[in-house]
A and B are shown apart, each in its own frame.
Chain A
């Protein structure tokens, strides 16, 4: 039995399909823009924001508003619904089937509604949006929402993998989404995690991360193993905790190392099998150093490493889905994406960071993420 990809979608400032996004990345375009006082916040920032009118137009075109309890949707709800509709349509699955499960990945859902005069408490949680999406499709199962900080998108796909491996479901629709708001931007600013310039993953001049908003969805299906199957397959995933600090990564890369080790062991992969390691690479001092140490400890220091934050910023709950799908698309074109913003190695391990787009014939990669709460996730994919 294999777990294979049968549908996908991507909504970002760089495009409303995976291919459009890949073309933008190929052209080294970034969605990050400078804002002096975005939403009147008293500090400048670099953010990647989806244009309201473009989102609204696509939403009106793709989503059947009569199937919603109310046509008035938040940005977060629009992102979730739109990406789900596009991925489900491409996959051809029957979303009404009890053999199909919806899984949402989000860190902050509708938190922006907290600034409304009358706060609708029921609607803030992403679990409410997950139910909205499941109801839109008439799906009978209780949708689950993974809210495991920045690794949510990989955790959600791990849940999907397990649901399919265990025969509990035939297909799982994973939607990763987060909408930016003053809440999130002010919060990261208070942690002094934001860079005042475009981010520089793994570089010696890195000063912090940029935030971005996006949605990406993927449909995974259980299928019989077939030698001629050319679709992307998930080989395994693991989540491990640093057990060290709630908001700082482990200096020994403990959780990331253990997650990588578990995935390599289970999938039987080693450094020579991998086209690339698509990592978190937020461009904060501590994250990138931690990842470098974990990669080295896992014996993967010779594998090309790349990070996509220079194009999109950190897209939170969407990151784990978006970055996996873009890496797959690039490898389909025989390419490893360039790490935009990389300007000279600034971590203690000699990592092979891909400064430029590189050609490859390999079709297997590992994705790595880490997040607050000390959580770390790794997953392997092949084609």
Chain B
């Protein structure tokens, strides 16, 4: 195992948002939690509203994570890798797209949905938002495994350009079932 340290973390679920281990927000009945979090952080990024659920979850979690880090944002960089994981890939977008092709009488495949039927689009959204030109990757695991994720984070540091890794688990099954657990890991 390599020498490294986790500097910040975010845990986002359907019910709560925790930043660096402290609860900062709770879902209110009747309000879409992700949209509330978007407004609460005064984010101005209209593309958010075009994103699919997986991207929204990953994007919101990354915004709170990077705000907690407190460094100057949006500076082009290629020393930070973005490495995300889940089990069910782009399940939510896949099932949405399937609905547009299932009925021959109403066959209307939507390009705006199809583009999200890849899990790594969320890594791309985070890279675009933050001007990260470094490594980006999405890995699927048969189940959530801290050990497997840590090994992959260690491997990401084997790229000599990489000095920190924004990494973690992002799963989005439905509006009522999603979670993100993201960290920033700095190499020592």
| A262/B155 contact (C-beta < 8 A), A124-B88, A375-B124 known | no
Interface pair B135/A147, CB less than 8 Å apart: no
Within 8 A of B (CB), among A188-214: 188-192
Q: Indicate if the CB atoms of A238 and B155 lie closer than 8 Å.
A: no
A145 CA / B140 CA spacing, docked (Å): 5
Q: From A135, which residue of chain B is reached at the shortest CB distance?
A: B142
Tell me if B13 counts as interface (CB < 8 A to partner A). Answer: no
Q: Using an 8 Å CB-CB cutoff, how does the interface string of A346-383 with B read, 1 for contact, 0 for none?
A: 00000000000000000000000001111100000000
Nearest CB in chain A to that of B117: its residue = A187
Q: Does A90 contact B (CB under 8 A)?
A: no
A258 contacts B133, C-beta separation under 8 Å: yes
| Interface range, A side | 35 or more
A148 within 8 A of B: yes
Q: By the criterion CB–CB under 8 Å, are B134 and A124 in contact?
A: no
Cα A240 to Cα B159 in complex, Å, equals: 11
- Is residue B119 contacting chain A, with contact meaning CB distance below 8 A? yes
For B98, list chain A residues within 8 Å (CB): 114-115, 183
B102 CB within 8 Å of chain A: yes
Interface contact B111-A190, CB-CB below 8 Å: yes
Whether B82 is near chain A, meaning CB under 8 Å from some CB there, is yes
* Shortest beta-carbon distance from A136 to chain B in Å: 14
Chain B nearest CB from A119 CB (Å) reads 8
Are B158 and A374 in touch, CB under 8 angstroms? no
Nearest-CB distance from B4 to chain A (Å)? 14
Q: Are A255 and B133 in contact (CB under 8 A)?
A: yes
| Given known A241-B124, A374-B124, contact A247–B115 (CB-CB < 8 A) | yes
Tell whether, in the assembled complex, residue A374 and residue B151 are in contact, meaning their CB atoms are under 8 Å apart. no
Q: How far is the CA of A166 from the CA of B139 in the complex (A)?
A: 19
Chain A residue at smallest Cβ distance from B76:
A243
Say yes or no: B118 contacts A373, CB within 8 Å: yes
Q: Is A147's CB under 8 angstroms from B127's CB?
A: no
Contact A127 B141 (CB under 8 A): yes
The answer for the CA separation of A146 and B137 in the assembled complex, in Å, is 8
CB distance from A138 to the nearest CB of B (A): 15
Say yes or no: B159 contacts A127, CB within 8 Å. Answer: no
Tell me if A63 counts as interface (CB < 8 A to partner B). no
B158 CB contacts on chain A under 8 angstroms: 162, 165-166
B154: chain A residues at CB < 8 Å are 166
Give chain A residues whose Cβ lies under 8 Å from the Cβ of B87: 125, 127
Whether a CB of chain B sits under 8 angstroms from the CB of A276 is no
A149 within 8 A of B: yes
Interface residues of A in 99-135 (CB under 8 A from B): 107-109, 111, 114-115, 121, 124-128, 130-131
B145 within 8 A of A: yes
Is B169 on the interface with A (CB-CB < 8 A)? Answer: no
A266 within 8 A of B: yes
CB within 8 Å for A148 and B138 given contacts A240-B78, A246-B115 = yes
A281 in the interface (beta carbon within 8 A): no
A285 at interface, CB cutoff 8 A: no
Query: Does A40 sit within 8 A of B, measured CB to CB?
Result: yes
- Evaluate contact between B88 and A125: CB separation under 8 angstroms: yes
A155 on the B face (CB < 8 A): yes
Task: Name A146's closest neighbour in chain B (CB-CB).
Answer: B139
Q: Which residue of A lies closest to B148 (CB)?
A: A142
Q: With an 8 A cutoff between CB atoms, is A299 at the interface?
A: no
Q: Which residues of B contact A143 (CB under 8 A)?
A: 142
Q: A166-B155, A190-B109 are in contact. Are A142 and B161 (CB under 8 A)?
A: no
State the CA gap A145–B145 with chains docked (Å): 13
Asked if A54 is an interface residue, CB under 8 A from chain B, the answer is no
A241 close to B88 (CB less than 8 A): no
Cβ-based interface call for A159 (8 A): yes
Please measure, in the bound complex, the distance between the C-alpha atom of A186 and the C-alpha atom of B108, giving whole angstroms.
Answer: 9
* Candidate in A147, A162, A182 with the most chain B CB atoms within 10 angstroms: A147
Chain A residues with Cβ below 8 Å from B131 are 243
Q: Answer yes or no: A77 CB below 8 A from chain B CBs.
A: no
Residues of A within 8 A of B111 (CB): 187, 190-192
Residue numbers of A with Cβ under 8 A of B are 40, 42, 107-109, 111, 114-115, 121, 124-128, 130-131, 142-149, 155, 159, 162-163, 165-166, 168, 182-183, 186-192, 238-247, 254-255, 258, 262, 266, 371-375
A–B Cβ pairs within 8 angstroms, 24 of them: A109-B89, A111-B117, A114-B94, A124-B91, A125-B91, A127-B87, A128-B142, A142-B141, A142-B142, A144-B140, A146-B138, A182-B101, A186-B101, A238-B161, A239-B135, A242-B127, A244-B128, A246-B121, A255-B133, A258-B133, A373-B123, A373-B127, A373-B136, A375-B136
- If A147-B120, A166-B158 are given as contacts, then 13 extra A-B residue pairs at C-beta distance below 8 Å, sorted by A number, are A40-B104, A125-B91, A126-B89, A127-B89, A144-B141, A162-B158, A165-B158, A186-B101, A192-B111, A255-B133, A373-B138, A374-B127, A375-B137
